[in-house]
Chain A
Amino acid sequence: MRTVLHILFISLLGFGIFTSNIFLKNILSFPFNTLNISFVFLILLLISTHSGKVVWLSFITHLLFDIYSASTFGIFLCAGTMTMLIEYWLYQDLFTNKSVWTLIAMTASGLVIFRILYTLGILFTEEILWADVLIFYLWEMIFSLILAIISYEVAKVFFNRA
């Protein structure tokens, strides 16, 4: 029963992350809509909980992205889940602490790995306009890092108070 509740909770959370991402993409204009809120949230969750369940949360979230996306099925799923798995291992072995630098390093490395895997995935199925794609990735990196730092500082203040 507990496992079922866990799965349900993770699924709902994944759905929440997914809808938040869609919402922000809808209301923000370029370049602000490049913000990858799902990744920032997953990394923050990984740092704060240090739990492997984040990988399964990433799995659910990216599965929804794949269902919603028009690109080949599995690209988001593979790239997102594998990235989060690598991030989880990196956090276990390399970064280990909960400082803001860890957050920055993990967000940056996570986005880089995710985008490399994603680009490899779409490389054979779609025509890539490299200039546009790289500009998009750059903006995504900048805004996601900014959001990650702000969220970290806000969370720090909030949890310290609590």
Chain B
Amino acid sequence: MSKRKTTFTLITTVIALIILFNFFGLLTPLKRGVFFLIDISVGRISGVGDYFLYKKELHQKKVDLVLENHQLEEKLLQNQVDTTRLELLDEENKNLRAQLFFFEKFPSVHIGAQVVGRTIDPLETIITLNKGSVDNVYIHNPVIISSGILIGEVISTLPHASMVRLINDNTSKIGAMVINGDKSIGLVEGGYGLGVHMNFIPQNEVVTPGDIIVTSGLTEGMPRGLIIGKVEVVEKQPHEPFQQAILEPLADLSHLTTVSVISSS
């Protein structure tokens, strides 16, 4: 027990002396030496530690950047979706405004419809609308877009849907008229979705590229004056009684979204 007491006293005394020495600044040389050693060893070790920390931070930054990049990619995609939607809405808006403007000048019963489908048969160019007989859509009703540009006619109806044969379908036949001096009359026919031409134009009448073709009003259910397209090329053979014009439709028939059906009722 006395040994322990001695040990305790010795240690306490040494500690007290050390604290006392420190209080009077006698430990300063020792501190300097220790700090010198600490600077050499711990400084370098801290450097290693800093290196690991730097690596860790770098890794964290990398992870953050990947995450941020992923979020930005998602945002970009969302923006692209929004832009596309906006562009489509803008186009639809323009189309609807043009249709509205047309019907202000051309008063008639009309039904706005969305194109909901297109035939997959390569020999047919037929689209499906989301309006049918319930909405007063009938067979032979003309279908227009924009400011009265004819795109086709209704060929069959269901209560809530209807089929429209486009003017470039090979079975499409519409009475038409050239806006020229002679007001030449002919028949606009489609060609397997690839083009539109106007046949049976009298040989002696002058048709030139750029002339506008409109409906003549001679086809059942088709009012006069709906624009079909413009003449691109005129084919004329001296030995034939009629000349032919290849037309450029004014509507993009492959990208239709919103149309109006002019109802006969």
Contact of B15 among A67, A68, A78 (CB under 8 A): A78
Which of chain A's residues have a CB closer than 8 A to the CB of B7? 52, 55, 85
Contact of A19 among B19, B22, B42 (CB under 8 A): B42
Chain A 24-83 interface residues, beta-carbon cutoff 8 Å to B: 26-27, 29, 52, 55, 59, 63-64, 67-68, 73-74, 77-78, 81-82
- How near does chain A come to B30, taking the closest CB pair, in angstroms? 8
Q: Which of B47-55, B109-117, B236-244, B250-258 contacts A (4 or more CB under 8 A)?
A: B47-55
**How big is the A interface, by class?**
20 to 34
B208 within 8 A of A: no
Which of chain B's residues have a CB closer than 8 A to the CB of A22? 42, 45-46
Which of chain B's residues have a CB closer than 8 A to the CB of A67? 31, 34-35, 38
- How near does chain A come to B67, taking the closest CB pair, in angstroms? 20
A118 within 8 A of B: no
Cβ–Cβ contact B49 & A77, under 8 A: no
B11 within 8 A of A: yes
- B12-26 vs A: 1/0 string, CB under 8 Å? 001100110010000
Of all chain B residues, the one with the shortest Cβ separation from A85 is B11
Cβ–Cβ contact A27 & B53, under 8 A: yes
B200 within 8 A of A: no
B41 within 8 A of A: yes
A101 within 8 A of B: no
- B59-93 vs A: 1/0 string, CB under 8 Å? 00000000000000000000000000000000000
Given contacts A23-B45, A52-B7, A59-B11, contact A73 B38 (CB under 8 A): no
- How near does chain B come to A68, taking the closest CB pair, in angstroms? 6
- How near does chain B come to A29, taking the closest CB pair, in angstroms? 8
Residues of B in contact, count (CB < 8 Å): 24
Which of chain B's residues have a CB closer than 8 A to the CB of A81? 11, 15
Cβ–Cβ contact A68 & B38, under 8 A: yes
Which of chain A's residues have a CB closer than 8 A to the CB of B31? 67
Cβ–Cβ contact B34 & A64, under 8 A: yes
Cβ–Cβ contact B22 & A26, under 8 A: no
- B203-224 vs A: 1/0 string, CB under 8 Å? 0000000000000000000000
- B114-157 vs A: 1/0 string, CB under 8 Å? 00000000000000000000000000000000000000000000
The docked-state distance in angstroms from the alpha carbon of A82 to that of B13 is 12
A15 within 8 A of B: yes
Which of chain A's residues have a CB closer than 8 A to the CB of B45? 19, 22-23, 26
Which of chain B's residues have a CB closer than 8 A to the CB of A64? 34, 38
Which of chain A's residues have a CB closer than 8 A to the CB of B53? 26-27
Cβ–Cβ contact A27 & B19, under 8 A: no
B4 within 8 A of A: yes
Cβ–Cβ contact A73 & B19, under 8 A: yes
Cβ–Cβ contact B11 & A74, under 8 A: no
Of all chain B residues, the one with the shortest Cβ separation from A24 is B49
Given contacts A27-B49, A27-B52, contact A89 B4 (CB under 8 A): yes
The docked-state distance in angstroms from the alpha carbon of A73 to that of B31 is 12
Which of chain A's residues have a CB closer than 8 A to the CB of B46? 22-23, 26
B58 within 8 A of A: no
B158 within 8 A of A: no
- How near does chain B come to A77, taking the closest CB pair, in angstroms? 6
Question: What are 12 contact pairs spanning A and B, CB under 8 A?
Answer: A15-B41, A26-B49, A26-B50, A55-B7, A55-B11, A59-B11, A64-B38, A68-B38, A78-B15, A82-B11, A85-B8, A85-B11
Residues of A within 8 A of B (CB): 15, 19, 22-23, 26-27, 29, 52, 55, 59, 63-64, 67-68, 73-74, 77-78, 81-82, 85, 89
Contacts beyond the supplied A23-B45, A23-B48, A77-B19: 13 A-B pairs with Cβ under 8 Å: A22-B45, A22-B46, A23-B46, A26-B53, A27-B49, A27-B53, A29-B56, A59-B11, A63-B18, A67-B31, A67-B35, A73-B22, A74-B19
Residues of B within 8 A of A (CB): 4, 7-8, 11, 14-15, 18-19, 22, 31, 34-35, 37-38, 41-42, 45-46, 48-50, 52-53, 56
